[in-house]
């Protein structure tokens, strides 16, 4: 999801709804400690959907344990390679293009989880 404003509980819930809608299995979601991740609306939604999604929180101030940080790094390299984006539309197009390609490169997605600091995770094929 690309959104122009800051993350809020409604956006988080919309994101999680999309995750469970497309998954045939229970979703295990790793979140950092952004305040909205711990909000009452999100907690109530999670309680209502606990059979379809389970959330795990990272320790505070520990970005090295967040696989999303490795995705963000790869995304930034992609966005700033080649022709630089000069408008908001250019930036959104490059981000969406990268993420669409990523959907078809499962080995690259898996690689974000194999960094040594992420040994607490286990990824199955």
Q: What percent of the chain has pLDDT over 70?
A: 97
From the number of C-beta atoms within 10 Å of its C-beta (0-12, 13-18, 19+), residue 113 rates as: middle
| Residues 96-118, mean pLDDT to the nearest whole number | 85
Looking at the 3D structure of the chain, how many domains does it have?
2
pLDDT on residue 55? 95
Domain encompassing residue 37: 1-57
Is residue 119's pLDDT more than 80?
Answer: no
Q: Is 28 helix (H, G, I), strand (E, B) or coil?
A: strand
Q: How far apart are CA 114 and CA 110, in angstroms?
A: 7
Domain check: are 50 and 65 in the same one? no
pLDDT top residue among 69 and 46: 46
Give Rg (Cα) of the chain: 16
**pTM score of the predicted model:** 0.73
Q: Which range has the top average pLDDT, 46-50, 70-74, 81-85?
A: 46-50
Domain check: are 86 and 121 in the same one? yes
Domain check: are 53 and 68 in the same one? no
Residues 2-59 have pLDDT tens digits of 787 899 999 999 999 999 999 999 999 989 989 999 999 999 999 999 999 999 998 8
Boundary residue ending a domain (37, 57, 77): 57
Q: How far apart are CA 105 and CA 36, in angstroms?
A: 30
């Amino acid at each position: 999801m690309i959104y122009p404003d800051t993350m809020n509980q409604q956006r988080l819930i919309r994101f999680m709804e999309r995750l469970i809608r497309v998954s045939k299995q229970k979703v295990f979601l790793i979140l950092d400690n952004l305040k909205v991740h711990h909000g009452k609306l999100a907690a109530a939604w999670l309680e209502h959907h606990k059979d379809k999604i389970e959330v795990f929180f990272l320790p505070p101030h520990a970005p090295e344990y967040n696989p999303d940080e490795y995705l963000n790094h790869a995304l930034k390299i992609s966005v700033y390679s080649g022709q630089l984006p000069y408008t908001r539309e250019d930036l959104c197009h490059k981000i969406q293009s990268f993420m669409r390609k990523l959907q078809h490169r499962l080995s690259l997605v898996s690689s974000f989880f194999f960094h040594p600091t992420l040994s607490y995770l286990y990824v199955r094929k």
